[in-house]
Amino acid sequence: MKPATRAIILKYLRTLHSWLGIIVMPWVLIAGFTGFYLNHKQAVLSIIESAPYDESQFDEWPDPKEGTVTQALKLASQNWTDELVSTIEEKTYHDRPAIIVTKPTGQIIVSKPTGHYFLKTNFRRQTFAPDGTLLDTKIYWNSVFGWLHTRGWLGTRFGTLLMDITSIALIVFALSGMFLWWMPRAKKFGRMIRRKA
């Protein structure tokens, strides 16, 4: 290979390698951190997870209001306006009788005895008083980190596209890095062989 051609190839490879490193860096960090979490869940959760909310406080609430199907449907409609109801069930939730309205994005769960309610999605659960005051937010870290690790994004819009792009970019990044490492050594190795011949 001519020196001029080699220089041009190396120049473009360095540029490609540098830009790929910058572009994929956020997803490399996400993949690294979420991979660490998947191997050491308890250690990470002990740092980031808050103490659980004590739901026994529901029983001592000063102004309880009986939870109804109408209330549950209204709350579901307010939170996910354009979605149709998938199911309406009456069953126990956290050892309390509840009305559960499910929509594609999540659930509204109303405690029948007191009117407290939960807004639950794949990634979090919010607990509200009967008057709508937010009492607690629980993040489902396992879901958050699982989605980030496989999709690189919390929404469903891009699917696994971002992580697929990152995976391909990392392969090109590794190959271009290996080539950049090898080219000067190959040149040196070639000179050594020619001297000995």
Write down the pLDDT at residue 37: 84
Quick one: pLDDT band at residue 98, thresholds 50, 70, 90? very high
Residues 66, 131, single domain; the answer is yes
Query: At which of 139, 161, 188 does a domain end?
Result: 139
Q: Average pLDDT, stretch 16-44?
A: 80
Question: In angstroms, rounded to a whole number, what is the distance separating the alpha carbons of residues 140 and 30?
Answer: 17
User: For tokens 């509204």, what's the residue?
Assistant: 108
Query: At which of 139, 161, 180 does a domain end?
Result: 139
Write down the pLDDT at residue 1: 61
Write down the pLDDT at residue 52: 85
Write down the pLDDT at residue 153: 63
| pTM greater than the 0.85 cutoff | no
Residues 114, 168, single domain; the answer is no
Write down the pLDDT at residue 160: 64
Q: Is residue 16 part of a domain?
A: no
Write down the pLDDT at residue 163: 67
Write down the pLDDT at residue 30: 77
Element (H, E) at 99: strand 96-102
Q: How far apart are the first and last CA of the chain?
A: 19
Residues 84, 109, single domain; the answer is yes
Q: Is residue 43 part of a domain?
A: no
Domain count, the chain: 2
Q: Is residue 17 part of a domain?
A: no
Question: In angstroms, rounded to a whole number, what is the distance separating the alpha carbons of residues 108 and 88?
Answer: 10
The tokens for 31 are: 């993949």
Residues 128, 157, single domain; the answer is no
Q: Average pLDDT, stretch 59-72?
A: 90
Q: Between 86 and 148, where is the model more confident? A: 86
Quick one: pLDDT band at residue 154, thresholds 50, 70, 90? low
Q: Is residue 194 part of a domain?
A: yes
Q: Average pLDDT, stretch 121-138?
A: 94
Q: Between 154 and 77, where is the model more confident? A: 77
Q: Is residue 197 part of a domain?
A: yes
Write down the pLDDT at residue 71: 94
Quick one: pLDDT band at residue 157, thresholds 50, 70, 90? low
Range of the domain at 68: 54-139
Residues 74, 134, single domain; the answer is yes
Torsion angle of the four alpha carbons 24, 25, 28, 33, in this order, in degrees rounded to the nearest 10: -150
Question: In angstroms, rounded to a whole number, what is the distance separating the alpha carbons of residues 60 and 50?
Answer: 23
Quick one: pLDDT band at residue 152, thresholds 50, 70, 90? low
Residues 95, 73, single domain; the answer is yes
**What's the mean pLDDT when you consider all of the chain?**
84
Q: Is the pLDDT of residue 43 over 90?
A: no
Residues 60, 127, single domain; the answer is yes
Q: Is residue 20 part of a domain?
A: no
Length reported for the chain:
197
Q: Is residue 6 part of a domain?
A: no
Residues 135, 74, single domain; the answer is yes
Q: Is residue 24 part of a domain?
A: no
